[in-house]
Structure 1
Amino acid sequence: MAAGRHFLRGLRAALSSMAQTAPQGAPSSRGLHAGRGPRRLSIEGNIAVGKSTFVKLLMKAYPKWHIATEPVATWQDVQAAGTQKACSTQSLGNLLDMMYREPARWSYTFQTYSFMSRLKVQLEPFPENLLQSGKPVQIFERSVYSDRLHFEALLNIPVLVLDVNDDFSEDVTKQEELMRKVNSFIRNL
C-alpha cells in the first residue's frame, strides 16, 4: 500500500512539472498565442458523443492539419511486454473489451494504458510538414489532461464547445456550420 502511495506521489510530481513546462522543443503557450508554432487542440467528450465522427470530418475538411486519433486499435490488441509483433507474440487481448465486460477489474488498468498511449502520441515530435505550413494546427482526439481536467479549469483556457444534438455525420449543412465555428475559433487563438 505504501509503495502504491509513493508511486502515485511520484507520478503526480512528474505530471505537475509536465503541466507547468513545455517539453523540450515544444513551443510555450505564449508562443502559440503569439502566432508562433503549431496550435495544439484537443477534442474532448464522453464516450459515443461523436468525437471520432468529428475527427473524420476535420480530416476531410483540413487535410493539411495533423490529426492524431485515439489509438483504439492498440487498446484492442495489447501485446505482452518484451514481445515482437513479427514473431509469434503473446497477445494479452482486447483491453477495451475487457474493461467493458468487467469494469470493476479492468477500469484502472485500461485508464492507465489509455493514458500512456495518448501520452506517447502527444510527446512525438511535430511532423516536419506541419512545422513548415503557414499556420500549423495539430488536433488530438482527447488530451492527456482529459482524466484530470475539471470544468472550472477550462475557464482559463480557450474552449470551443460544439453542442451537437442531431447527427451531423451525413448532414452537409450541419458539417459546414461546424467547420465555420472551428475556423473562427482557430483564427482567434
Structure 2
Amino acid sequence: MRTLKNLGRLIVITGPSGVGKGTLVRLLLTRHPEWYLSVSATTRDPRRGEIDGKDYYFLTKTQFESMIEGGDFLEWAEYAGNYYGTPRTQVEEHLNQGHSVVLEIEVLGARQIKETFPDALRIFILPPSMTELENRLRKRAKDSQAVIELRLKRAEEEIATSQEFDWQIVNEHLETALEDIESIILSTVDYQNH
C-alpha cells in the first residue's frame, strides 16, 4: 500500500462509458498543462484517429497478459471483451517527482486504485439520466448495437457503485461539470505544491 505524502497527487476520474470523461479530462488538461495524463493500455482496436502512445498503448492480448503477470499495471480490468490497464512505471515516476497525475479509467480499475493508493482523489462522473447516456453512446457512432446494449447494462452496474467514490459529479452541462471537478481538485489538501 502506498501513501501520497510528499508525492504528487493521484487524481482518478471515472464513470460509465459515454458519460464524457474523455472530454472533461481533455479540457482540464488544457487549463492545467502541468498535470500529467497517464496513458492507458488496451487490447481493443484503435478507433479512427487514435494514436498509439498518445490515446492508448494498443497491445495484443499476449502482451497485456505478460504485463499482468509482471505486475506492470497499477490496475487493470476486462471490459466489453477487451483489457484496459494503467501502466505503473510512468505514473509512479511522475508522482515521485511531485507532479499531479490524472487517470481517466474504467470503474473497476478506479475501485482497484483505492487498494494501492488510498490517498488518491477519486471522482465519479454521472450522466444526467440513462436515456441521455444512451443518446450520447448512439451519437458518437463508435459502437455496434450489441456493444451499446452491453455498455448500458454495465453503466447501470457501475452507477450503483458511485457512492464508493470521494465525489460524484453529474455531467449535464459540460462547463459546469468541468468547473466542479476543477474546484474539487484545487481545493484538496496538499494540492498547492503540485
Tell me the TM-score range normalised by the shorter chain.
0.3 to 0.5
Q: Which has the larger radius of gyration?
A: 1
Highest RCO, 1 vs 2 (Cα 8 Å, sep ≥ 6): 2
Question: How high is the TM-score relative to the length of structure 2?
Answer: 0.46
Q: Looking at secondary structure, tell me which structure has more strand per residue.
A: 2
